[in-house]
Amino acid sequence: MPNGARRTSVVRALVRRTRLPILALGVLSFAANLLVLTGPLFMLQVYDRVLASRSVPTLVALFLLVAATYGFLALIDLLRSRMAARFAGVIEADLAPEAFRASLRLALSPLGLRSDPVRDVDTIRQYVASPGPMALLDLPWLPVYLLIVFLFHPALGWLATGGAVAAILLLVFNERLTARPASEATTAQVARQAFAEDARINAEPIFAMGMIEDIKARWQARSAVVSGLQYRSADIGALYASVTKSFRLLLQSAVLALGAWLVIRGELSAGLMIAASIVTSRALAPVEQVVAHWRGLVSATQALKRIGPVVASSSAAPRALALPDPHRRLDVRNLATGPGPEAPPLVSGVSFSLAAGEAMGVLGLSGSGKTSLARALVGVWPAYTGEIRLDGSELAHYEPGLLGRRVGYLPQSVGLFDGTVAENIARFRSDADSETILKAARLASVHDMIAALPDGYETRIGSRGAALSAGQRQRIGLARAFYGDPFLLVLDEPNSNLDFAGDDAMTAGLRQARERGAIVIVIAHRPSAIAVCDRLLYLVGGRQAAFGAKDEVLRQVTTPAARIEGVRVSG
């Protein structure tokens, strides 16, 4: 689907779900704009009736009526503000979950985040909850106010109309000049945020190797770019806001001056003169408010344009039929994969089949594509060509959440989260039970280690498991992979931080997984990691060089010719 169509579909769906709140806000705006006419009408009555008749009871009655009207107007404005805030919450609740999913998907891109859908949702919500949308709802009343001024006197009406046209032209120029700087500032801000996140994740090597000043200098350079773009956008907005405000005040005075001349000529009463000045000022007030909140409107509009395609592309289409859990075999045919369509394939020409209870080791030099293959097997990376099938069905045909429960994955970085040990093992499942968590921990032989922690399974481990050692993180990650007895286990360098005891425990757990019918795939450099495997896949330069029984493949890749090519695999 083209980006424009995706964006339009997201906007239309959002409008459909929020049309009733929008209608309610429109009704309240209608009432508020009618009540705003109270001031000019009161002024008209005071000048033309009260002062002429010198009637104090009439003045008191009019004032009490005006006081009640303004009280009702305050109530309506309060309701509008509260409804706008809750309307913003509805939009956030509708967009935020898919935006979060989209941000995770974008993080898999080789170029990282080029937009931040979660921040975009925040931008949209902040603008919707601001006075800006109320000004947009008041803007259609501009012709009504101008018509009222025309009824007072045609000359006043034409003057007010000319002023309104000039104010709208200022608004158009403002949009033309601020849109691009605002977009560039947002892009630069996202890039700066991504750089700061990279620095935070890599804090250890930064401090250990004295990189802090250089990294700080690079961050400051990015900050300077963001600040420059924000200053430019803010300066343009401030210029037009100041000009619009001054022009409105000047137009109000011009209407008053023309009205005074008409009063002198006997063509207008003093009350109508004052009322025309006030109504003209009120007519242009929404234009001034729109200009004042123009940066927010531009930012929200651009955020909506960005979020439409990424949310539409990351949203999984609902499955018409839920496939049964796989339990028989895994088939890979002529697979080519990489991080995304914009990147070249890192693995190609891979084909193999494994039945339930079989285990395969994946060997190869660094950069041969082992980790890339693992990411494709668990559905993190797409298949450019070829196919990956579980029990005859392609991975894409499974509902992602249900498929993920039948997959156990241990990446090189482990990927633990701020939470308790139990929550991390249970994959943060809301329906997790203690028995299943304990079973996974015992399969990974990590129960005794967890019991020795200060709060046992309730110990909070911090962001990325910072409170644990590298070996502890890896063993808890292994328990997470075992959680729920998954059918497909894919482990990337699972023993890189394990001691001999941990290595033996991992091997024992993998044997038990095979015995219950799981397919196990282990990517390794250390020979002990493939002790449980009966088959081997060997990759060279991202392509399959050998696949078959472990002993046969080891003989092929440890021949003198293979050694000449720099290949050494210990058996």
DSSP for 113-142, please give it.
-SS-HHHHHHHHHHHHTSSHHHHHHHGGGH
Token readout for 290 is 């729109």
Strand segments, DSSP code E, in 259-358 are 329-337, 347-355
Identify the band that residue 86 occupies on the pLDDT scale cut at 50, 70 and 90.
Answer: confident
Digit-coded pLDDT (tens) for 505-532? 888 889 999 999 999 999 987 666 788 8
- Is the pLDDT at 315 greater than 60, yes or no? no
Query: Do 309 and 351 fall within a single domain?
Result: no
**Dist CA 522 CA 504 (whole Å):** 15
Strand duo 329-337 + 488-492: pairing:
unpaired
The pLDDT of residue 318? 53
Same domain, 527 and 502: yes
The residue among 314, 347, 365 that closes a domain is 314
- pLDDT of 569 above 50: no
160 pLDDT more than 50: yes
The candidate with the shortest Cα–Cα distance to 514, out of 358, 374, 409, 329, is: 358
> What average pLDDT does the segment 336-344 reach?
81
d(CA 249, CA 559): 90
Is 386 part of a structural domain of the chain? yes
Are the C-beta atoms of 379 and 551 separated by less than 8 Å?
Answer: no
Q: Judge whether residue 483 has pLDDT over 80.
A: yes
User: What is the structure's pLDDT at 205?
Assistant: 67
What amino acid occupies position 297? L
Mean pLDDT of 368-373: 89
* 314, 349, 364 - which closes a domain: 314
Whether 350 has a pLDDT exceeding 90, the answer reads yes
Residue 34 lies in a domain: yes
pLDDT for position 360: 94
Structural domains in the chain (count) = 2
Asked if 255 and 378 sit in the same domain, the reply is no
CB 394 within 8 A of CB 387: yes
pLDDT of residue 93: 78
What CATH number is associated with residue 267?
1.20.1560.10
Domain annotation covers residue 70: yes
**Using CA atoms, how far apart are residues 364 and 346, in angstroms rounded to an integer?**
14
Of the pLDDT bands very low, low, confident and very high (cuts 50, 70, 90), residue 94 is confident
pLDDT at position 559 is: 60
Tell me the two tokens of residue 13. Answer: 């769906």
Could you write out the DSSP letters of every residue in 453-477? STTGGG-B--GGGTTS-HHHHHHHH
Q: Is residue 571 part of a domain?
A: no
Position 239 confidence tier, pLDDT thresholds 50, 70, 90: confident
**Looking at residue 436, what DSSP letter applies?**
H
The amino acid occupying position 418 is D
| Band (204; pLDDT cuts 50, 70, 90) | low
Confidence of residue 564 (pLDDT cuts 50, 70, 90): very low
Same domain for 309 and 386: no
DSSP state of 538: E
According to the model, what pLDDT value does residue 2 have? 47
What pLDDT, on a 0 to 100 scale, did the predictor assign at position 196?
80
Same domain assignment for residues 250 and 373:
no
Report the chain's C-alpha Rg in angstroms: 34
Residue 1's pLDDT is what?
Answer: 44
User: Of 139 and 544, which is predicted with more confidence?
Assistant: 544
Predicted pLDDT of residue 63: 87
- pLDDT value at 128 more than 80: yes
* Per-residue pLDDT band at 568 (split at 50, 70, 90): very low
Mean pLDDT of 316-335: 78
Mean pLDDT, range 307-328, rounded to an integer = 68
User: Which pLDDT does position 38 carry in this prediction?
Assistant: 83
Confidence of residue 268 (pLDDT cuts 50, 70, 90): confident
Task: Please give the Cα distance from 423 to 67 (Å, whole number).
Answer: 59
322 part of a folded domain: no
- Tell me which amino acid residue 127 is: Y
Q: Which residues pair with 335 in a beta bridge?
A: 350
Please report, for residues 99, 121, 305, the alpha-carbon distance to residue 189 in angstroms, rounded to integers and kept in the order given.
Answer: 18, 15, 17
- Residues 367, 454, single domain; the answer is yes
Supply the pLDDT for residue 525: 72
- Percent of the chain scoring above 70 in pLDDT: 89
User: Over 60: is that where the pLDDT of 442 sits?
Assistant: yes
User: Would you state the structure tokens that stand for residue 115, as one six-digit string?
Assistant: 């937009």
How is residue 79 written in tokens?
Answer: 């309701």
Task: Tell whether the model's pLDDT for residue 432 goes beyond 50.
Answer: yes
Q: Given this model, what pLDDT does residue 72 score?
A: 87
- Regarding whether 372 and 237 lie in a shared domain, the answer is no
Q: How far apart are CA 490 and CA 509, in angstroms?
A: 13
* 345 in the same domain as 279: no
The band of 488, judged by pLDDT with boundaries at 50, 70 and 90, is very high
Strand partners, 491: 410, 522
Distances (CA, A) of 182 to 55, 186, 295: 57, 6, 7
Q: Are residues 404 and 509 in the same domain?
A: yes
Which residues lie below 8 Å from residue 224, measured CB to CB, with a gap of 6+? Answer: none
Domain range for 414 is: 329-564
Residue 387 and residue 260 in one domain: no
Residue 174 neighbours by CB under 8 Å, 6+ apart:
236, 237, 240, 291, 294
- What does the pLDDT average to over 88-117? 73
Residue 204's alpha-carbon distances to 212, 411, 464, 466, in angstroms, are: 10, 20, 13, 11
Q: Average pLDDT, stretch 372-381? A: 89
- The CATH number for 559's domain is 3.40.50.300
pLDDT band at 562 (very low <50, low <70, confident <90, very high): very low
Tell me whether strands 347-355 and 359-363 are parallel, antiparallel or unpaired: unpaired
Q: How far is CA 25 from the centre of its chain?
A: 27
Domain boundary among 314, 347, 380: 314
Contact predicate 330/505, CB 8 Å:
no
Q: Are 69 and 137 members of one domain?
A: yes
* 319 in a structural domain: no
Residue 111 has pLDDT above 70, yes or no: no
What's the half-sphere exposure (Cβ side, CA atoms, 13 Å) at 62? 19
Q: Quick one: which of 135, 131, 132, 160 has its CA closest to 146?
A: 160
Q: Give me the helices (H) in 315-396, please.
A: 370-377
| Euclidean distance between CA atoms 180 and 186, whole angstroms | 10
Give the separation between CA 218 and CA 215, rounded to whole angstroms.
5
Which phi and psi angles does 488 have, rounded to 5°? -115, 120
- Tell me what the pLDDT averaged over the chain comes to: 81
d(CA 446, CA 505): 8
What pLDDT does 357 receive? 92
Output DSSP code: residue 430: T
Phi, psi of 186, deg, nearest 5:
-65, -45
Candidates 290, 188, 186, 179; CA nearest to 236 is 179
The reply to whether 255 falls in a domain is yes
Residue 570 lies in a domain: no
Same-domain check for residues 293 and 366: no
Higher local confidence (pLDDT), 174 or 470: 470
A 10 A CB-CB count for 453 gives: 17
Residue range 322-326: mean pLDDT, rounded:
82
Mean pLDDT of 169-189: 78
Which pLDDT belongs to residue 321?
62
Strands (E), 419-513: 488-492
Tell me the pLDDT band of 570, cut-offs 50, 70 and 90: very low
Which range of 227-241, 256-270, 556-570 scores highest in mean pLDDT? It is: 256-270
pLDDT at 75 over 80: yes
Listing DSSP states for 285-311 in one string gives HHHHHHHHTHHHHHHHHHHHHHHHHHH
Q: If you write DSSP's letter for every residue of 10-69 in order, what string do you get?
A: HHHHHHHHHHHHHHHHHHHHHHHHHHHTHHHHHHHHIIIIIHHHT-HHHHHHHHHHHHHH
Instruction: Say if residues 382 and 529 touch (Cβ distance below 8 Å).
Output: no
Q: Model confidence over 410-420: pLDDT tens digits?
A: 888 888 888 89
| Global pTM value | 0.70
